[in-house]
Amino acid sequence: MKLGYIDYLNCYPFYYQMFEGAPPAGVEVVPGYPSELNRMMAEEKLDMSPVSAAMYPELADRVLLLPDFCLSSVGYVHSVILSSNMPIEDLDKKRIGLTSASKTSVIILKILLSRYYRIEPRYVPTAPNPSLKDAGVDAALIIGNEAMMGEMAPYTYDLGDLWMRKTNHPVVFAVFAVNKRLLEKNSAVVAAVVESYRKSLVLLAEKRETVIRRAAERYPLVHYDIDAYYRVLKYNFTPSLREAFSFYLQSAAEMGLLKKTAGEAFLGPLKE
C-alpha cells in the first residue's frame, strides 16, 4: 500500500511513529507537495494520503475520509500567507501569484478577495516560493515550509486569521482519504496506519521536546518556533472543524470553484 506524506513540518507529527520506528508492514511512505499527493490520489497512484480539502469533491466517489484526523488551524496558522507589496484592498486588477504547491489555500484566497474584499485580481501561477520581483507579481500566495523561510514583502496576511475573521470559521487545510478499493482488499493495513497516526499524536503530547527536535532535524531550513507552530495546528477532526470543512466546500461550490458534493463520507470501524 502506498501512503502519501505531505513533506512539510505541519504533517510530520502524524508520521513520527513511522519515521522514528518503521511504517506498518506493507506500507510504503511517499513524500510530496500537497499538489503532488492530490494528483497521485486522483490517478490512483496512492492508496491513502492526506489531501487538500479542495481535492475532496474530485475524489468523493472513490474515497472515504478518516473521521479522527485533519490538518487545521483556528485563526493564525503562520504557514499560509499572502505576501504583498501593497495593502490587500489595493490588489484589484493587480497580479497575484498562486503557488503550485496546494489547492485549498488558493480557493480560500479567491473566496476572501471576491466575496469579502470585493476585488478581482489577475491570478498567475508561480513556483512554491516566488520572489515578488522576479515573478513579476504584486503579491503571492505562499504556503508550507516556504512561508516560514523567505523574506516577507511589506504586507503579510495570514489566511487562517483572515478566514476566521471574515467567516467565523477555522480552516481545514487537509483531510485524510483512503481509497475504497484498498478497504475491500485490506482494511487491516488501513487500521495499522490509523493506529500509527494515533500513537504519533499521543507521543507529540507525551514526548513533545523529542518530537520537536526530530522535526527540526528533518527540516533544518525552517527557522521557526516549532513548539508554537504545533500548538496552533489542530489535528483532531472535531465536530466544529467538520462544520468548517462543510462550510468551505459549500462556499467554494457556490462560487463555482469546486464541484458540489452531496456531503462528506467518513470511514467506519475497521477490522484490525
> How far is the first Cα of the chain from the last one, in angstroms, to the nearest whole number?
15
Closest CA to 145 of 220, 72, 57, 199: 220
Quote the mean pLDDT of the chain: 91
- Nearest 5°: the CA angle 102, 219, 66 is 50
Q: What's the rounded Cα separation, in Å, for the pair 214 and 4?
A: 20
Quick one: CA dihedral 37, 40, 45, 48, positive or negative?
positive
Residue with cell 527540516: 219
What are the φ/ψ torsions at residue 246 (nearest 5 degrees)?
A: -65, -40
Closest CA to 94 of 136, 142, 43: 136
Partners of residue 140 on adjacent β-strands: 83, 97
Residue type at position 120: E
Cβ–Cβ contacts within 10 Å for residue 17, how many? 22
What is the pLDDT, as a whole number, of residue 153? 79
What is the pLDDT, as a whole number, of residue 126? 85
Per-residue model confidence as pLDDT tens digits over 54-71: 999 999 999 999 999 999
Per-residue model confidence as pLDDT tens digits over 188-236: 999 999 999 999 999 999 999 999 999 999 998 877 789 988 998 999 9
User: For strand 95-99 and strand 122-126, is the pairing parallel, antiparallel, or unpaired?
Assistant: parallel
* pTM for this predicted structure: 0.89
Contact 48, 182 (CB under 8 A): yes
Q: What's the rounded Cα separation, in Å, for the pair 82 and 105?
A: 10
Closest CA to 1 of 253, 191, 236: 191
More confident residue, 233 or 99: 233
Closest CA to 177 of 66, 80, 263: 66
Contact 56, 220 (CB under 8 A): no
